[in-house]
Structure formats: C-alpha cells, structure tokens
C-alpha cells in the first residue's frame, strides 16, 4: 500500500460501515505556530466527523497494520505479515533511517545470528534478560537455523565463523539490508522515514489512533490502524507508546559495554589481546551468586581499560547491578585458566632453572602465550626488577608471579561504549505479552518485537536473533488474524447477498 501518491482534499467523510473496507489516514498540515484551538482540533481525530481525509479502498478485508520502527524486528515482521496475508495493508514508520543497526553491526558486516546455538535451550542461556522465558516456544518457532534459511532462500549467502557468528559472505551489511528492503517493497509494504509516532490510543471499536508527526514539514497525520506493532528498539518513543496503551516499563539501563580501568600502566598495553582468560566480576552488596558473572574467552586491553567478548558478556549479565553501583566494581582475571596454580608454579620453577642466566624481563615460559609488554606490566605491578637474572629470583617472587597470573585484580571505575552494538536492558515486561504470538495481554491486536521488550542478549548475533524471532512470530500472528478477519467479512458479505438478493 503506497501512501505517497494519494490526493489530499478537505471533505466531510463518513466512516465506512462494517461492510465497507477502507484503510484510513487522516492528514493535518499544522504549523508549529498555529493557535491552540487549531492544534487541538487536529489532534482530536475521534471527536469530530469533519476531518481532512486521504482515503483509498483496498481489496479484501483492507485492514491496516502500522509498524512503529524500521529496524530488524519491524521490517522482518512487516514482510512476514504481508507474506501470510497479502491483502493486509502494512505501513512501517521510522523516525530515522531504515535498518540503521543492521548497517553498523559487526563492524559494518552485520552479525546476522549465531550458528553454534541451534538448540533453543542453549540459545536461551545467552539472554541475561529473558533466559527463563525464552526456553519455551520462542526460538522453537523461529530460531537461528530458520533465520539462516530465510536469508539463504532470498539470495544471501552466509558463513559461520569459528566463534559461531554468522555473516554474509560479502562481509557487507548492505547484503542484508538490500535483501530485507527489496522483499518488503516486493511484497507491497509501505516504508516511510523521517516520521515519528508520538501518541497512541484506541477507539471503542478497538482500532488504534496513531498520531504521526513529520516535524521537518510541520505535518501531523493520524492513522487509524487495525493492528499496531511496536518494534522501536530501546528508544523512549516506543516505551511512551506502550505506556499510553496500558503497559508498564522496566527502566532501561545500558548493556554490552566496556570497562574503564584507572591504571596508567595498563593503558600502555592498548591493543594487546588475550585469546583466553577467565574473568569474574565482583559486585558490591551482591547477596546471591550469579554463575554468569564468571566468563571465559578472549579479552582486549584498550586505551581506557578492558574490552572483548568476556568483558561484554560480563557487562550484560551485570548491567543492572553495575548501573546501581555507578559502574564501580572489581574484576578478577585468570590469565592461565587451563593451568592449575600449582602446575603454574612448577612451570615457572622449571623455566628458572633452564634459563638461570637470562634476565627475567627477556625470558618467560612460552606456554603462557603472553607478550613481552604484558610480562613487563606484571613485573612492575609485583615490584620485581626485570633486570635481575632468573637465578636470583626468589621462590616468593615465583609464587607472586603465579598468583598474579591466576588472580589479577582490576578496579572498574566506569563504562565505555561498545560502538558495534548498543543494547539496553529493560522495556516492556515479558509477563505482559504472550511469547507464542507476541501479542499484548492488555490490549488486543497490539504486538511487540525486538528490544522494546525486556530482552537483551550477549554479543555474538543473539540480539539480532531476538529481533528475527520476535518479528517472525508477531508477523505470523498478525497475518493470521487478518486472514481470519478477511474470511469473516467475506462470509458476512455472502450471507447478506443471499439474504437480500439483487
């Protein structure tokens, strides 16, 4: 359904009866300096039958779905709804650019999903918010395998990297963007950008009245929708609309961020990567044990502190607690997680004997897999003179080196931003929607998908999988409801034509 070419003219328009099928869009050109009386009239769509109307008959049931948000979840849901119910009119409203997160994800390559977590139970464990609820039908309905198959079927070749992350073989996010947008346009989805849905309400018949503003043109539109899907990400816009329609909001806080560490010596190690460490986050006043606050994997030193998959996972699982402590905490890192401490001491002792005449700064066991810059940093922190020979290193110094490598502490003083994937924890509580359909338990025909819900995953393609799964389920549910409504209308028309022939 294309709204762009409609002819607009003032007229007195009577709303259609149940036997007529129209999609409605009320349009008001309202300058910001208009007097209050004019503005109030413009925003009171349901209170007046004298309105400026753009109207267009549509085939079949002619129902309208408005999708708030043109991100991954919104566009995927729009395509799915239109696939299930081709005669459903679908309008996607996006305030900025379509699929903006898809474009920047994975350093511009788009981390589509994760190919190592095809089991729904294992997959759910990668969501700090939602891991209990998502163990049910959510990923079973549409999981990573289904996502990969969908893009493959639509001409996008994918690859699974060693860590499970899935990317297009082009290593270019435009492959994913073009696929989604081309399919949306092919299906007849109307995509409108530069517009914001600023308010939502519903009339006695259960239809939604959505106020849509295009501020650059001082334009206000009112859409009367049969279905509304809020897929606006973590923006305040979507949360406000959810509240207006009766939902509560869990206050959002940042997730997936790096750690700032006030250590000038550590900053000199910027760029050093550790392929495998075991890191444990110690949170203040934490009364219960959270196993996920211990993570194993790669870690990276930055000029402001620490980053890498291990740190990002810790930030996600500790997101709300870290927010409450103003991002002050302690991090304990084991740089040799596969070597027991006593075995590490023995390894260092053997190296001492074998390289007794070498300076300790220039010689260290290759089994540690470390670099000289880090070895020097470790010696400085432990107060060991790097110019002494291994032969002069005391047993207590050997023990100190082993203790450092197995339990090095860092004081976290704040958070940095992970530019590839900005994610928040919080949103609409999962208890207020049905994950089988993504429909609101409070307001019929209201749906949610994506990060507007209190769901967030760790890095590695999991947040996009939430978008694909939720969007698919919501689109399927809306499409099926539209088909049933269309069937009901058709049966009613047939009955009336038989009851009153001619």
pLDDT in the model for residue 100: 95
- Claim to verify: residue 388 and residue 308 sit in the same structural domain: yes
**CA 32: distance to chain centroid?**
34
Q: What are the C-alpha distances in Å from 55 to residues 206, 310, 389? A: 20, 54, 87
Residue 69 in domain: yes
Rounded CA-CA distance 299/278 in Å is 9
- Claim to verify: residue 233 and residue 110 sit in the same structural domain: yes
Both tokens of residue 27? 């349009």
Q: Determine how many CB atoms are found less than 10 A away from the CB of residue 203.
A: 11
Rounded CA-CA distance 468/413 in Å is 35
**What is the CATH number for 126?**
3.50.50.60
- Claim to verify: residue 232 and residue 287 sit in the same structural domain: no
- Claim to verify: residue 122 and residue 76 sit in the same structural domain: yes
Q: What are the C-alpha distances in Å from 92 to residues 19, 227, 437? A: 26, 12, 19
Q: What are the residues whose beta carbons fall under 8 Å from the beta carbon of 217, sequence distance 6 or more?
A: none
Both tokens of residue 192? 């409108």
The DSSP bridge partners found for residue 228 are 66, 446
- Claim to verify: residue 312 and residue 270 sit in the same structural domain: yes
Q: pTM here?
A: 0.84
- Positions in the chain whose pLDDT score sits under 50: 1-61, 495, 500
Q: Backbone phi, then psi, for 220, in 5-degree steps?
A: -120, 130
- Claim to verify: residue 233 and residue 288 sit in the same structural domain: no
Mind listing the pLDDT tens digit for each residue in 424-451?
999 999 999 999 999 999 999 999 999 9
Q: Which domain holds residue 345?
A: 257-421
HSE of 258, CA atoms in CB hemisphere, 13 A: 18
> What integer best gives the mean pLDDT of the chain?
87
Q: Contact 82/112 with Cβ under 8 angstroms?
A: no
- Claim to verify: residue 224 and residue 242 sit in the same structural domain: yes
- Claim to verify: residue 280 and residue 401 sit in the same structural domain: yes
Residue closest to 117 by CA, chosen among 108, 107, 127: 127
Q: What are the residues whose beta carbons fall under 8 Å from the beta carbon of 364, sequence distance 6 or more?
A: 351, 370, 375
For 56-70, give one letter per residue: b (16+ CB within 10 A) or e. bebebbbbbbbbbbb
pLDDT in the model for residue 218: 85
Mind listing the pLDDT tens digit for each residue in 311-367?
999 999 999 999 999 999 999 999 999 999 999 999 999 999 999 999 999 999 999
Residue 104 in domain: yes
Residue 10 in domain: no
Q: How far apart are the first and last CA of the chain?
A: 32
pLDDT in the model for residue 498: 52
Rounded CA-CA distance 286/321 in Å is 8
Q: Contact 329/282 with Cβ under 8 angstroms?
A: yes
Residue 58 in domain: no
Write down which residue in 421, 453, 470 finishes a domain. Answer: 421
Q: Domain count of the chain?
A: 2
Residue 406 in domain: yes
Rounded CA-CA distance 139/326 in Å is 34
- Claim to verify: residue 357 and residue 457 sit in the same structural domain: no
- The percentage of residues in the chain with a pLDDT greater than 70, rounded to a whole number, is 83
Residue 284 in domain: yes
Helix axes 144-153, 462-499, angle to 10 degrees: 70
Residue 42 in domain: no
- Claim to verify: residue 249 and residue 261 sit in the same structural domain: no
Residue 19 in domain: no
pLDDT in the model for residue 54: 30
Write down which residue in 366, 396, 421 finishes a domain. Answer: 421
Write down which residue in 378, 395, 421 finishes a domain. Answer: 421
- Claim to verify: residue 143 and residue 225 sit in the same structural domain: yes
- Claim to verify: residue 305 and residue 248 sit in the same structural domain: no
């Amino acid at each position: 359904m294309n709204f762009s070419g409609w002819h607009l003219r003032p007229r007195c328009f009577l709303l259609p009866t149940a036997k007529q099928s129209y999609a409605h869009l009320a349009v008001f050109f309202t300058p910001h300096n208009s007097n209050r009386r004019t503005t109030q009239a413009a925003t009171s769509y349901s209170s007046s039958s004298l309105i400026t109307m753009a109207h267009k008959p549509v085939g079949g049931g002619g129902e309208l779905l408005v999708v708030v948000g043109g991100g991954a979840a919104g566009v995927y849901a729009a395509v799915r709804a239109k696939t299930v119910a081709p005669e459903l009119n679908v309008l996607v409203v996006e305030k900025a650019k379509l699929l903006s997160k898809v474009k920047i994800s994975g350093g511009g390559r788009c981390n589509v999903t994760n190919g190592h977590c095809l089991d729904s139970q294992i997959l759910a464990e990668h969501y700090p918010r939602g891991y209990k609820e998502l163990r049910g039908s959510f990923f079973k309905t549409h999981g990573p395998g289904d996502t990969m198959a969908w893009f493959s079927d639509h001409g996008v070749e994918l690859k699974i990297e060693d860590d499970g992350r899935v990317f297009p073989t082009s290593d270019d996010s435009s492959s994913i963007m073009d696929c989604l947008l081309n399919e949306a346009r092919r299906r007849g989805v109307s995509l409108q950008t530069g517009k914001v849905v600023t308010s939502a309400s519903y009339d006695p018949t259960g239809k939604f009245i959505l106020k849509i503003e295009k501020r650059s043109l001082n334009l206000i539109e009112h859409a009367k929708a049969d279905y509304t899907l809020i897929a606006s990400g973590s923006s305040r816009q979507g949360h406000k609309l959810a509240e207006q329609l009766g939902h509560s909001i869990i206050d959002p806080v940042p997730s997936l961020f790096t750690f700032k560490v006030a250590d000038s010596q550590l900053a000199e190690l910027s760029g050093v990567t550790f392929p495998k460490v075991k890191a444990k986050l110690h949170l203040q006043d934490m009364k219960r044990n959270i196993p996920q606050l211990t993570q194993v994997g790669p870690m990276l030193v930055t000029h402001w502190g620490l980053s890498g998959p291990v740190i990002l996972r810790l930030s996600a699982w500790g997101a709300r607690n870290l927010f409450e402590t103003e991002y002050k905490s302690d991090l304990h890192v084991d740089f040799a997680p596969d070597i027991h401490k006593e075995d590490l001491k023995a390894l260092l002792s053997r190296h001492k004997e074998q390289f007794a005449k070498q300076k300790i700064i220039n010689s260290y066991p290759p089994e540690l897999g470390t670099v000289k810059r880090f070895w020097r940093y470790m010696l400085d922190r432990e107060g060991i003179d790097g110019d002494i020979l291994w032969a002069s290193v005391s047993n207590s110094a050997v023990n100190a080196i082993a203790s450092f490598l197995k339990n090095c502490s860092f004081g976290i003083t704040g958070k940095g931003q992970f530019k590839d994937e900005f994610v928040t924890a919080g949103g609409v509580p999962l208890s207020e929607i049905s994950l089988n359909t993504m429909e609101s338990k409070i307001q019929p025909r209201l749906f949610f998908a994506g990060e507007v819900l209190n769901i967030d995953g760790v890095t590695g393609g999991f947040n996009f999988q939430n978008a694909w799964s939720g969007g698919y389920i919501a689109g399927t549910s809306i499409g099926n409801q539209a088909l049933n409504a269309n069937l009901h209308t058709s049966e009613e028309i047939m009955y009336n034509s038989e009851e009153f022939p001619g």
